[in-house]
Amino acid sequence: MRPVCARADSGMQVARRAVSSFECSAPNRPTYEHSALRLHLHEQASVIGSQQLERLVRGASVKTESSRVLRHVNFVLFVGIALNVSTAIAATPREQRAIVQHGIGGPEVLKFETAGVPEPGKNEVLIRVYAAAINPVDYKRRIGTGDYAPEPAALPTAIPGGDVAGVIEKVGGDVTAFRVGDPVFAVIPRDPKRLNGGYAQFAVATTETVVAKPRNVTFAEAAGLGVAAVTAVRIVSVTKVAKGQRVLVTGAAGGVGSIAVQVAKERGAFVIGTASGRRAEYLRSIGVDQFVDYTKGNFEDQIKDVDVVIDTVGEDTATRAFKTLKKGGHYISVAARGLERQCEAAGFKCPGRGNAQALPREFYDETGRLAGSGKLSLYIDKSFPLAQAADAQVYSEQGRTQGKISLVVDAENANRK
Positions touching ligand NAP (CB under 6 A) are: 135-137, 227-228, 231, 250-251, 253-257, 274-276, 279, 294, 312-314, 317, 334-335, 353-354, 356, 396, 399-402
Q: How far is the CB of 302 from ligand NAP (least distance, A)?
A: 13
**Which parts of 236-287 are beta strand (E)?**
246-250, 270-275
Q: Please count the CA atoms within 13 angstroms of the CA of 182 that sit on its side-chain side.
A: 20
Whose Cβ is closer to ligand NAP: residue 200's or residue 334's?
Answer: 334
Whose Cβ is closer to ligand NAP: residue 122's or residue 296's?
Answer: 296
Indicate the residue whose CB is closest to ligand NAP.
254
Taking the C-alpha atoms of residue 36 and residue 42, their distance in angstroms, rounded to an integer, is 10
Dihedral, CA of residue 188, residue 191, residue 193 and residue 196, to nearest 10: 30
Taking the C-alpha atoms of residue 10 and residue 12, their distance in angstroms, rounded to an integer, is 5
Q: How far is the CB of 31 from ligand NAP (least distance, A)?
A: 46
Whose Cβ is closer to ligand NAP: residue 43's or residue 397's?
Answer: 397
Whose Cβ is closer to ligand NAP: residue 210's or residue 256's?
Answer: 256
Q: How far is the CB of 161 from ligand NAP (least distance, A)?
A: 14
Entry field: residues in the chain: 417
Amino acid at 91: A
Whose Cβ is closer to ligand NAP: residue 227's or residue 409's?
Answer: 227
Q: How far is the CB of 283 from ligand NAP (least distance, A)?
A: 9
Q: How far is the CB of 112 from ligand NAP (least distance, A)?
A: 23
Whose Cβ is closer to ligand NAP: residue 120's or residue 403's?
Answer: 403
Q: How far is the CB of 341 from ligand NAP (least distance, A)?
A: 18
Give the distance, in angstroms, between the CA of residue 152 and the centroid of all CA atoms in the same chain: 27
Concatenated DSSP letters of 94-125:
SEEEEEEEESSSSGGGEEEEEEEPPPP-TTEE
Nearest to 283 by CA among 400, 379, 380, 397: 379
Q: Which residues contact 99 (CB under 8 A, 6 or more apart)?
A: 110, 111, 112, 113, 159, 160, 161, 197, 199, 200, 386, 387, 389, 390
Q: How far is the CB of 265 from ligand NAP (least distance, A)?
A: 17
Whose Cβ is closer to ligand NAP: residue 204's or residue 378's?
Answer: 378
Taking the C-alpha atoms of residue 245 and residue 192, their distance in angstroms, rounded to an integer, is 42
Q: Which residues contact 73 (CB under 8 A, 6 or more apart)?
A: none
